[in-house]
Amino acid sequence: MTPRVVFPNKILPYLLVAPQLAITLIFFYWPAGQALYQSMLKEDPFGLKSKFVGLDNFAKVLSEPAYVNSIKVTIVFSVATAAVAMGVALLLAVMAEKVVRGKGFYRTLMIWPYAVAPAIAGMLFLFMFNPSIGSVAILLRRLGIAWDPVLDGTDAMILLVVAAAWKQISYNFLFFVAGLQAIPKSLIEAAAIDGARETKRFWTIVFPLLAPTTFFLLVINTTYAFFDTFGIVHAVTGGGPGKATETLVYKVYNDGFVNLLLGSSAAQSVILMVIVIALTAIQFRYVERKVHYG
């Protein structure tokens, strides 16, 4: 039986937690409470007239076709971004393992893009893929591809996914490299002696053993695509053409700050808050506990 550690002083422990509590209260509970309160009001932008409307804003938001569209856009965007970012990162990590000389240098280069801010990444891709002046766009046109992200919703979505995934590849790469290093070489060597080829070895040994890393990254990447890509959407497409790339987070901004519909915007952010809480709960309850092969 382990003895319980008890502070001799009754107040000290509270004092020690106080700064953290204060930060959480000020930076999380207070704004979250404000959002919740705002989401039940119908108000003009200046707050001169406000009316309590209960859950009206939520009912309106959820019955709005634009909101349903925005959910679809977010799912397509998040799944594609996570898949591309993780797929490419895994491929690069596996390949990096094979590099004999200059491994460290190669890996360092791979990590750099992570230091680029989302809005900057967005601008970079915007320039490269700009239909009239972008170098990549000109290349695409020479190849006979009608590239037009300004009017074609699919092209715009591809552009966003590429820009968002590019930024996340470095992060994923780092974790995959670490995951790969944790796999005992003896297992792979044993399989090789048994006559398993490289592809077979990857799918039967390496990939399953990477599962904890993969699941962890899946949650991280989905959260990233959901919530951290505002800067990219804002810089690259602004939600257009039409509403083809209006993600949930972008819609919160657009309805709140451009259209000045504060109640609706607040209701949407409360819904997003619920989604974040759910995603985090899933991560804690299932991913961290159940995915263990080691």
Partner 1 sequence: MKFHAFAAGVAATLTLFTTTSAFAVTQISWWHAMTGANAEVVDKISKDFNASQKDYEIVPVFKGTYPEALNAGIAAFRAKQAPDIIQVFDVGTGVMMAAEGAVKPVAEVLEGAGMKFDKSQYLPGIVGYYSKPDGTMLSFPYNSSSPILYYNKDIFKKAGLDENTPPKTWNEVWDMAKKIKTSGAAACGYTSTWLTWIHLENFAAWNNVPWATNQNGLAGGTPELEINAPIYVNHFQKLADLAKDGTFKYGGRTSEAKQLFLAGECGILTESSGGLGDIVKSGMNYGIGQLPYDSDAKGAPQNTTPGGASLWVFGGKSDEQYKGIAAFFAYLSQTDVQEYLHQKSGYLPVTLAAYEATKKSGFYEKNPGRETPILQMMGKEPTENSKGVRLPNLPQVRDIQNEEFENMLAGKETAQQALDNAVKRGNAAIKEATGG
Helix ranges, the chain (H)? 12-24, 30-38, 56-63, 65-98, 103-111, 118-129, 135-142, 153-181, 185-193, 198-201, 207-209, 211-227, 230-236, 248-253, 262-282, 288-290
Task: Report the C-alpha gap between 199 and 214 in whole angstroms.
Answer: 18
Per CB under 8 A, 241 contacts partner 1: yes
Stretch of 147-155, 177-185, 199-207, 215-223 contacting partner 1, by CB under 8 A = 147-155
Task: Report the C-alpha gap between 158 and 238 in whole angstroms.
Answer: 14
- Assess contact for 45 and 260: CB atoms under 8 A: yes
Q: What is the phi-psi region of residue 18: left when phi exceeds 0, alpha when psi lies from -120 to 50, beta otherwise? A: alpha
Cis geometry, peptide bond prior to residue 241 (ω within 30 degrees of 0): yes
Stretch of 87-95, 104-112, 187-195, 253-261 contacting partner 1, by CB under 8 A = 253-261
Query: Where in 61-120 is the site for partner 1 (CB under 8 A)?
Result: none
CB of 45 to partner 1, least distance (A): 5
Q: Which is nearer to partner 1, 168 or 268 (CB)?
A: 268
CB of 102 to partner 1, least distance (A): 41
Site string for partner 1, 44-63 (x = CB under 8 A): xxxxx---------------
Q: How many CA atoms lie within 13 A of 293 on its CB side?
A: 16
Site string for partner 1, 186-205 (x = CB under 8 A): --------------------
Task: Report the C-alpha gap between 229 and 165 in whole angstroms.
Answer: 10
Q: Which is nearer to partner 1, 221 or 237 (CB)?
A: 237
Q: Which of 68, 258, 277, 281 binds partner 1 (CB under 8 A)?
A: 258
CB of 238 to partner 1, least distance (A): 7
Q: Which is nearer to partner 1, 43 or 172 (CB)?
A: 43
Q: Which of 13, 31, 33, 242 binds partner 1 (CB under 8 A)?
A: 242
Per CB under 8 A, 22 contacts partner 1: no
Per CB under 8 A, 151 contacts partner 1: yes
- Assess contact for 90 and 176: CB atoms under 8 A: yes
Q: Which of 86, 137, 169, 261 binds partner 1 (CB under 8 A)?
A: 261
Question: Which sign, positive or negative, has the C-alpha torsion 64, 68, 71, 77?
Answer: negative
Other residues' Cβ atoms within 10 Å of the Cβ of residue 152: 16
Q: Which of 259, 280, 286, 291 binds partner 1 (CB under 8 A)?
A: 259
Binding site for partner 1 (CB under 8 A): 44-48, 132-133, 150-153, 238, 240-243, 254, 257-261
